[in-house]
Structure 1
Amino acid sequence: MTDTLATRSGPPNNFNLADFPDAPLSLEAARADAYLQPLADIDVANPKLFHADVVFPYFERLRREDPIHYVESPTFGGYWSITRYNDIVAVDMNHQQFSSEASLGGITIAATANTALPMFIAMDPPKHDVQRKAIQPIVAPPNLRNLEPLIRTRAAAILDDLPIGVEFDWVEKVSIELTAMTLATLMDFPQEQRRKLTRWSDVATAVPGGGIIDRAEQWVEEMTQCFQTFQMLWHERAARPPGNDLISMLAHGAETRNMPAYEYQGNIVLLIVGGNDTTRNTITGSVLALNRNPDQYQRLREHPELVGSMVSETIRWQTPLAHMRRTAVQDVELGGKLIRKGDKVVMWYLSGNRDETVIDRADDYIIDRERPRQHVSFGYGIHRCVGNRLAELQLQIVWQEILKRFPVVEVVGEPERVYSTFVRGYRSLPVRIPRRL
């Protein structure tokens, strides 16, 4: 198949990093900049701020002074930033007035009606509901119980193979490896080719020039290969009896088996990114968070029963998807501001998870919070992350197995983050394990 979504639409992040101002060199400098510049000029949608991890002071000022904030971005056009927890929940729950439809621009700040990928998360009911329902059995509790021993066996093997006493990249050896194995199983994709899933996940959300792809044409080339591969898998699964994998579920589902090719391709992107990027970046983020908060790491070692709570706190602290976007389909008043029909509305989950008016000591990492699941990382309402329990399961397993084996996983250098206002992720994290238990 030569006519794919990639050739029809092009990359959703087709902008130039050189168009954005450089980020401040430190968090202190960012705080000064955030409070010195005119409030109306604050534009948090700069991927350089996320790459340098200095975006938090800008969100802090918006939450305090203008939580429903409109700005004209030179790159993304005019958009509203929703930065407080309760306002984010209100927008996320209100799919009647705030649409996810790809034809209106979809779920990311960068996408337009011409580049937004059609996938069930970028659809409104009733179409959203029937497509989401088709794949829900794979993340239902019975299937997760079946998957748990396999994930644990793989996590144990990965950890047992790690080098001791030397520096290595945690992202490459642990985070990517475990999540790629799990995603390949969910898709019944060849395990020996699982790193293709990782690569396509990276490319799908990449900014040209950001270190993953060099130019927009490369996005088209690599995503075309992805779509052609999955188109062949679709035909293979459709010709067989129904199986317990995502492709078979879509190919045999009563409401999905006749979906247009471009919708199937969009859903493949959703499943690859959702099943890969988010979990792997939180696995990496957990190591970083515990190293930056050694008292919490010590508490976890002393009380391994806190792993479940620690996982939820890490998902809040990391916030693997920094935002979701909606488009207003009618005039709406929110927080005293009038949002007009057609306006782009961005829910900054990363900011909502640091809202000190809702979450006590929101900037702190506390593994035994009273309400560790109080976060917006998975979204709310009909679009709440369908694989949230699988993500938690993988994180819990990997940390249960780490605590059995190693007294500490030491971060020995700064992480390399990705250039993205959407995926809050890592390209590398240098670590060292001094010894085994």
Structure 2
Amino acid sequence: MASQSAEKLEHDKLAIEDIDVSDPTIFQKNRQGPIFARLRAEDPVHYCRESRYGPYWSVTRYQDIIAVDSNHQVFSSANATSLDETRAKGRGPNATPVGGFLGMDPPEHDTQRKIVSPALAPANLARFEHLIRERTRNALAGLPIGEEFDWAQTVSVELTMMMLATLLGVPFDERKQLKRWSDVIAGVPGDGVVESWEQRDSELKEMTRAFLTLRETRRMEEPSSDLLSMLAHSPVAQNMSDLEFASNVSILVVGGNDTTRNSMSAGILAFHDHPDQWAKLKANPALVDSAVPEIIRWHTPIMSQGRRATQDHELGGKVIRKGDKVMMWYVSGNRDESAIPDAGQFIIDRARPRQHLSFGFGIHRCLGNRLAEMQLRIFLEEILANDWARIEVTEPVGYALSSSVRGINRLRVRIHA
């Protein structure tokens, strides 16, 4: 605690223009709260002149983020969705197979998104609900009672990988490879995942080859409800290049993994830190429906997205110049008291629980939001069915070294019956 307080005081001494929230150690040390609170109060549209990623703007208030996210004419997504542009190498023969329609603007974005969206439509997801519940129930039934273990790896990772393998149609015994690919897609050299951009690129090209092989296998089989089969048999998807296909699948690997996996762990942590809310949920299990979006808001698993200004534009009294990089900090917008009442509190029975930015806004709103909510709803329902007294977090949380994904790599817990 003394170390955190010292770091906060050191940060408070910085001139506002010297604040750089792209530093991933801020999030690994869980210090982002007071930093973003200061930016929202003093400089909500903030220009950082020097960072490891070059100059960029930070947009930190709820309404300003919506203004950027819903204006794709001025704020382009093309090759600008992350702080580090070396993650994407354009669309040539040596392009890195990530980004897909997330890194496109209309009309190209709309065409690509429509090809993928049927697999994540509510009617198709309903086919998976029984399977998700059965797997969740079995995973929870095997947990040790009264013994310490890592919830993040034992429960959150395993459940998410099982579901993602089923959704995509990846062989079940290869599901752990999906987690590796997801971590590599979101990774940067030095974060403990990859050592170099060359290693990252090599592993992602391996991912591309694997998905292209699976697509060819699906083309020779009868159509089914999994995503790869839908893409393999879709007449519209036949015009997709191999790179476009792999890039779009990569979005679903990350979205289907990071959002749900980290929200599962974050929910356990939130209820540990707020035992009154756990008691409230146990007394009224119907509150699961509002607890799910509150967990997603509270944690904000995808913390930021980037855009590139296509023209000069005024926002929050600042002039953003054509070509400037603009980062939307969803993790800050979700704590904006001017837009969300008691935004700094974890409250599972909010009047408007879906008033959050964790899924983005506008044309790039997360395509898998209903899947994530369904998985988390079943997750909480099955935990409640076990009627445990509480799940105690026994050690400090291990957060990922990232300024984009709010990852929980370690969550040591003990279940009290």
TM-score by length of 1: 0.90
Alignment partner, residue 377 of structure 1: 358
Mapped contact 2:306–2:325 kept (Cα < 8 A): yes
Query: Aligned AA for 2:45?
Result: I
2:401 is the counterpart of 1:424: no
Alignment partner, residue 93 of structure 2: none
1:257 CA displacement: 1.8
Structure 2 distance, partners of 1:374, 1:129, is: 25
Structure 2 distance, partners of 1:255, 1:83, is: 38
Query: Aligned AA for 1:407?
Result: A
Mapped contact 1:413–1:431 kept (Cα < 8 A): yes
Alignment of 1:238-253 (within 5 A): 238-253=219-234
Mapped contact 1:30–1:55 kept (Cα < 8 A): no
1:240 CA displacement: 3.5
Query: Aligned AA for 2:84?
Result: A
Alignment of 1:27-426 (within 5 A): 28-102=5-79, 106-112=80-86, 114=89, 117-405=98-386, 406-426=388-408
Structure 1 distance, partners of 2:140, 2:222, is: 37
1:178 CA displacement: 1.1
Unaligned runs of 5+ in 2: 91-95
Query: What SS does the corresponding residue of 1:433 show, helix, strand or coil?
Result: strand
Alignment partner, residue 7 of structure 1: none
1:137 CA displacement: 1.7
1:414 CA displacement: 1.2
Unaligned runs of 5+ in 1: 1-23
1:208 CA displacement: 2.1
Structure 2 distance, partners of 1:266, 1:188, is: 17
Structure 2 distance, partners of 1:354, 1:417, is: 19
Mapped contact 2:17–2:47 kept (Cα < 8 A): yes
Alignment partner, residue 18 of structure 1: none
Structure 1 distance, partners of 2:14, 2:402, is: 23
Mapped contact 1:187–1:245 kept (Cα < 8 A): yes
Query: What SS does the corresponding residue of 2:237 show, helix, strand or coil?
Result: coil
Root-mean-square deviation (CA, aligned residues, Å) is: 1.6
1:84 CA displacement: 0.2
1:211 CA displacement: 2.1
Name which of structure 1's ranges 93-102 and 215-224 shifts more when overlaid on structure 2. Answer: 215-224
- Identity level (%): 49
Mapped contact 2:124–2:225 kept (Cα < 8 A): no
Structure 2 distance, partners of 1:84, 1:99, is: 19
Name which of structure 1's ranges 312-321 and 73-82 shifts more when overlaid on structure 2. Answer: 73-82
In the TM superposition, what whole-angstrom CA distance separates every residue of 1:332-357 from its partner, at most 9, and x where no partner exists? 11111111111101000000000011
In the TM superposition, what whole-angstrom CA distance separates every residue of 1:350-376 from its partner, at most 9, and x where no partner exists? 000000111112111111111111110
Query: Aligned AA for 1:59?
Result: F
1:241 CA displacement: 4.2
1:205 CA displacement: 1.0
1:212 CA displacement: 2.2
TM-score by length of 2: 0.94
Structure 1 distance, partners of 2:50, 2:132, is: 43
Query: Aligned AA for 1:177?
Result: E
Distance 1:306 1:38, change over 3 A: same
Query: What SS does the corresponding residue of 1:427 show, helix, strand or coil?
Result: strand
In the TM superposition, what whole-angstrom CA distance separates every residue of 1:134-170 from its partner, at most 9, and x where no partner exists? 1212221212222111111110000001111111111
Mapped contact 1:131–1:255 kept (Cα < 8 A): no
Structure 2 distance, partners of 1:33, 1:379, is: 32
Distance 1:25 1:206, change over 3 A: farther
1:399 CA displacement: 0.6
